[in-house]
Structure 1
Amino acid sequence: MDRPIRVLVAKPGLDGHDRGAKVVAAALRDAGMEVIYTGLHQTPEMIATAAVQEDVDVVGLSILSGAHMTLFPRVLQLLREQGRDDILLTGGGILPKEDMEALYAQGVGQLFGPGTPTSDLIDYIKGWFAERQRQESQQA
């Protein structure tokens, strides 16, 4: 099955800074992925609903507000409640290393801090997707 990776990029919460999210969305699009950008001030419920409706492979959250320990787990919980634990939840922002580790332990994918080259995120998503495709083909 050769198809583009579908990614939803979202800005949850009250943070009004979306330049980084737009740069990431453009880089993912340039890398051949289908990207849906939800815009600013999204609730976790809006993000999870959009992810399910759009049948995405990946949700990327951009959080600079400091609310990452609330927002990432809530989106993850909502995706799981809707039976979509197959969606990779990743993202970036101002995230202390210990918080990244705690979120990873809860099931959130790799997270990226300021200044990370977009190529690192692209490689991570492509690698994750290739592994998922390989596992699905083995189960078929």
Structure 2
Amino acid sequence: MSADQEQAERTIRCLVAKVGLDGHDRGAHVIARAFRDAGFEVVYSGLHRAPEEVVQAAVQEDVDVLGISILSGAHNTLVPKILEGLKEYGAFEDTLVLVGGIVPDDDKEELRSLGVAEIFGPGASMDEMIDYVHEHAPERN
């Protein structure tokens, strides 16, 4: 099998993470199911994870995509901690970081400048998210 065929057949690995005290996980479950149905391998973190736990899970599971679901308003505190943790482990460059949930427009540019690839808010379609992952997930050897 050629390297191109191997890359084309490789399953994209995703971690869907709920960080902080946010207890609303219905959307995270919907995303996880849609990603599975799209052929991605999905790990769900469960509720109330500390940023360090999310980083550990992303590194241990060797994910290509980290989707952070957050509705609590703590995105400006929690997401940067996760990004820093990924950098400390040398996993930042190889991980597509997405944020989903409620993020005010005024905060989106700051999160993007820190390394969040895309932010999906209410009303984003599953097809849009799946297409984005297919187009932007990092290629690995």
TM above 0.5, yes or no, is yes
Matched residues in 2 for 1:102 and 1:88: separation? 17
Amino acid at match of 1:5: I
State the identity %.
55
1:121 and 1:91 map into 2 onto residues whose CA distance is: 11
Tell me, yes or no, if structure 1 residue 116 matches structure 2 residue 124. Answer: yes
Matched letter for residue 87 of structure 2: R
Q: Is structure 2 residue 132 aligned with structure 1 residue 102?
A: no
| Deviations, residues 106-138 of structure 1 (Å, cap 9, x unaligned) | 111100001211111111111002xx33xx68x
- Structure 1 CA distance for aligned equivalents of residues 52 and 102 of structure 2: 22
Runs of 5+ in structure 2 lacking a partner?
1-6
Partner of 1:88: 96
* TM-superposition CA deviations, 1:53-99 (whole Å, max 9, x none): 00100110100000001111110000000011111111211111121
2:39 is the counterpart of 1:32: yes
- List alignment gaps of at least 5 residues for structure 1: none
- For the aligned residues, what is the CA RMSD? 1.2
Structure 2 residue corresponding to 1:62, chosen from 40, 60, 69: 69
Aligned residues: 133
Return structure 1 stretches of 4+ with deviation > 6 angstroms: none
Query: Structure 1: which amino acid aligns with 2:52?
Result: E
Question: How far off its partner does 1:38 sit?
Answer: 0.9
